[in-house]
Structure 1
């Protein structure tokens, strides 16, 4: 696995672009062979309708499994429990370690900074920081390919800890997106090569505007996640443009969005997710609510509105079961986005593990119920679930 970065260029909110055909879009639509393509000079802008042919495909006959998990918070009690334990970097993943390591790639929301520097920012109730000594190794052992950093805890210990985080990840060969030394860097997509597949990851958040990167000031990739907001169209549109300009095989948007303790996404959030797909996203990976929300299949592409908590030390809130979630696996089969497979998991305070049958049943029924408003077809698959990425009839 290798990763690179590409400079982000903001897109004026009122500018429309002509979309030039790319290797990926031409092949997906059954166009000419790769050898007949000319150089690409255009890129996707904030208002463009990308090629979203259905069923979605990638320009290769690749078959692989790409995992997605929600909040990975390795600070506080998780850090205290595992940082000095010889097996800490593997033990934190519990009985899920083998499953994680069997994936071809993994995208996670890193809900803490990785640093030994900085002081807690004033005016905040919670501050999340993990020692890079063990936490970076833990992410590496789990096979994390890319960490989303656009969230409301990356800046908890100030600019030094924030900028340390992507640097420590890069030293371990882990890509990251969503935070940086300035606004341009914060919105830069990450690029990861997994097998024969090139994957672009754009990370954004609508949480903690005081943490936003602004001009030359460090921070997160913040924007109101409303497709009609000019700042969103400029910043997120610019990030999508930078990603598409590299012509990846797969474009993932990982979004830390929406209010906590809400079991269904709001209308604006849904509109934004579909706007992302209309503008080229193949996968929308949501998190922040601390609970699982429904899955929608829109134009053959999965929208995971909230993937919940994966590992943390949070108290379990009555009625919400924020200690239960899934490992979400995107299955690409013979160059097609085939299905999303869900493995039930339970977070036992500072360690994640496979869910037992009772917990798995609760998760299956909850996911079905919360996906029902989207008309999502969901199949039983052992203890878990399978969501076929079918196209509208």
Structure 2
């Protein structure tokens, strides 16, 4: 149907199937000799504001299905395991103890041909006749089956100097940087799977080069007699040319008259397409801190502004891209930048917090910090629990969090515009729980990032525009569960869901966003739990975690120093182009650091969390003040967790927490300045004129005898603090 509406034409149509996209064609010629494509849409309605543009003329419309092309299947064979022989040699005599292998009739997925099978304790190496030059975009694929699993079943690649291994199945989860275990435990046994391996980016992230690969490793490790499995492989190939395309993004807009002289309405028209997918999702950032997931949204702006508008589009294969265009209306009176971002640590609405909600109401969760949250322009947090009704929990994790869908509005009502889902609890209820969480956050207008149905989706940045500045947020995590052998592990891969993995590979794959935004922030869930400041001497990437602990576990050991390799990785992100690195996970606060002029919060601690260790009660909020081009300053507000909920301490209590943060920041060569009349500390970016000052004092203290010890009562000092 075509009906007049608001000075234009409203089109409505029906179709027998579900989903799909439509092209809306318009002609002023009844024979359709000259047609204009005026829209692409997944809806079954469209408003054409120009349908009555030519008085006396009729507009004729056609609605036609838009059909995507097939994904090209352009692969280059590396090893198909066909032929009478396969030349393999022993990889390591100390490991190749009971080799059993051979070429087996029947290809993968029931196809004709052959595949190779390894059993026993077999470590073999194949030397390639023609080495293959790697590049960072290269993706290899292989068909694999565990029939059933062994101690470890792996495929690896080498260049004569370095080696990189993918662990696909196995009960054993060793901790070494040369092993990639993201698929381990994900795929069922006794079934063929085709797995994509991003060998190019994985290799460069570990070794920093693009070599020629000249050898392949095959392993079925059955060191334990109880783990006698068979590892089957077929069709190892270069699948770089068989990957889906990214969407092609375009949009324009129309100004719509509005009766309010101080504002104007804009109708956005989305022209985005994808050559091989008709399923598209959208995220608009309107330039004023608000977002929308509607395909063709309307938005109201005040007069006299300039607004960078970003449209982010993802297709059915989770490939994505974005486009930013700038709108302006009238004389620009709006300042560039000059806004604040408040970043806080771990927030859950699960476990003991549910009791707080039931007893005190939803408003109580953030009531103790409303006075510091409300003045902020933007508010970001780590949201560390799925919101779901699913009962399909992770099969091996000991601690599972789950929030109730009816409590989702607590996050939006507190004004949080963005939460990161890149953490070790976002997949507590597996794929179903993650998808439900994302859907509920979308419905409540809270943007999210850091987790998805594969690693490409999980690495998608959140693009948020505010006051004529473009902010890019990448969320990542490295607490993947391998340290406790929580299979399946929690990080996403090319063919499985999870969070975006925080490592050099992940940084290199995302840091190029710096060229498209004014500020690039990494929100990272990383480090060892219950650790206070960086320890020297650890190797980069080493893992010193104690793992997850039960609430109120009396045997928790509070490490004073987390892995300094973590600090090196955060520095690497800054060196590669990040402007801000905001970290959480240890449940305790750590010092802040200015590194090469950029700000790093090493751990913000908890914010809404039901731990009862004294060490986890102090917390903080980092307020990042944006100037007209860059970070203008950062202030630290002390927080105290009182009965699981955040409150703002005052007086000596607040100053004691700030003293604590100041002390651990000095270890990182970073100074905090606190004016005498404020209970906030300011990070000093320029230390050119800083100086250390030693103050001497003498005070009479009376000793009391306690057996063989002499003690004094705590002595109040003339400056802030105590000594005893």
TM-score with structure 1 setting the length: 0.78
Within a 5 Å distance, the mapping from 1:178-327 to structure 2 comes to: 178-209=450-481, 210-223=489-502, 225=503, 232-233=504-505, 235-241=506-512, 243-245=513-515, 247-265=516-534, 266-317=563-614, 320=615, 322-327=616-621
Aligned to 2:560: none
Is the 2:477–2:501 contact (alpha carbons within 8 Å) kept by the matching residues of 1? yes
Aligned to 2:442: 170
Which of the residues 626, 650, 673 maps onto 1:356? Answer: 650
Distance 1:112 1:215, change over 3 A: same
Larger proportion of helix: 1
Per the TM alignment, residue 339 of structure 1 is displaced from its structure 2 partner at its CA by 1.4
Q: Where in structure 1 are there 5+ consecutive unaligned residues?
A: 1-8, 17-59, 226-231
Which of the residues 361, 373, 387 maps onto 1:100? Answer: 373
Matched, 1:374 2:680: no
Aligned to 2:386: 113
Is the 1:145–1:192 contact (alpha carbons within 8 Å) kept by the matching residues of 2? no
Is the 1:314–1:349 contact (alpha carbons within 8 Å) kept by the matching residues of 2? no
Which of the residues 340, 349, 373 maps onto 1:65? Answer: 340
Q: Which moved more, 1:185-194 or 1:63-72?
A: 185-194
Is the 2:507–2:573 contact (alpha carbons within 8 Å) kept by the matching residues of 1? no
Aligned to 1:124: 397
Rounded Cα–Cα distance in structure 2 between residues aligned with 1:142 and 1:285: 20
Is the 2:350–2:403 contact (alpha carbons within 8 Å) kept by the matching residues of 1? yes
Per the TM alignment, residue 267 of structure 1 is displaced from its structure 2 partner at its CA by 2.2
Aligned to 1:20: none
* 1:66-86 alpha-carbon deviations (Å, 9 max, x no partner): 11101111111212331686x
Is the 1:300–1:391 contact (alpha carbons within 8 Å) kept by the matching residues of 2? no
Is the 2:347–2:606 contact (alpha carbons within 8 Å) kept by the matching residues of 1? yes
Aligned to 2:157: none
Rounded Cα–Cα distance in structure 2 between residues aligned with 1:295 and 1:132: 35
Name the larger-Rg structure. 2
Is the 1:204–1:236 contact (alpha carbons within 8 Å) kept by the matching residues of 2? no
Matched, 1:75 2:350: yes
Q: Where in structure 2 are there 5+ consecutive unaligned residues?
A: 1-136, 138-197, 211-334, 482-488, 535-562, 690-724
* 1:218-277 alpha-carbon deviations (Å, 9 max, x no partner): 111124x4xxxxxx32x3211222x235x1111110111111111013321111111111
Distance 1:333 1:183, change over 3 A: closer
Per the TM alignment, residue 391 of structure 1 is displaced from its structure 2 partner at its CA by 7.0
SS of corresponding position for 1:343: strand
Larger proportion of strand: 2
Distance 1:114 1:208, change over 3 A: same
Aligned to 2:428: 156
Aligned to 1:387: 683
Aligned to 2:416: 144
Is the 2:518–2:629 contact (alpha carbons within 8 Å) kept by the matching residues of 1? no
TM-score with structure 2 setting the length: 0.43
Rounded Cα–Cα distance in structure 2 between residues aligned with 1:196 and 1:138: 29
Is the 1:118–1:158 contact (alpha carbons within 8 Å) kept by the matching residues of 2? no
SS of corresponding position for 1:114: coil
Rounded Cα–Cα distance in structure 2 between residues aligned with 1:127 and 1:139: 20
Is the 1:346–1:355 contact (alpha carbons within 8 Å) kept by the matching residues of 2? yes
* 1:294-348 alpha-carbon deviations (Å, 9 max, x no partner): 111112211000110011111224xx2x111111100123434221111111112
Per the TM alignment, residue 141 of structure 1 is displaced from its structure 2 partner at its CA by 1.8
SS of corresponding position for 2:370: helix
Rounded Cα–Cα distance in structure 1 between residues aligned with 2:565 and 2:665: 17
Rounded Cα–Cα distance in structure 1 between residues aligned with 2:670 and 2:687: 11
Is the 1:146–1:192 contact (alpha carbons within 8 Å) kept by the matching residues of 2? no
SS of corresponding position for 2:578: coil
* 1:106-149 alpha-carbon deviations (Å, 9 max, x no partner): 11111111112233323322111111212x21111222121111
Distance 1:365 1:193, change over 3 A: same
Rounded Cα–Cα distance in structure 2 between residues aligned with 1:110 and 1:83: 20
Rounded Cα–Cα distance in structure 1 between residues aligned with 2:442 and 2:477: 21
Is the 2:519–2:630 contact (alpha carbons within 8 Å) kept by the matching residues of 1? no
Is the 1:63–1:333 contact (alpha carbons within 8 Å) kept by the matching residues of 2? yes
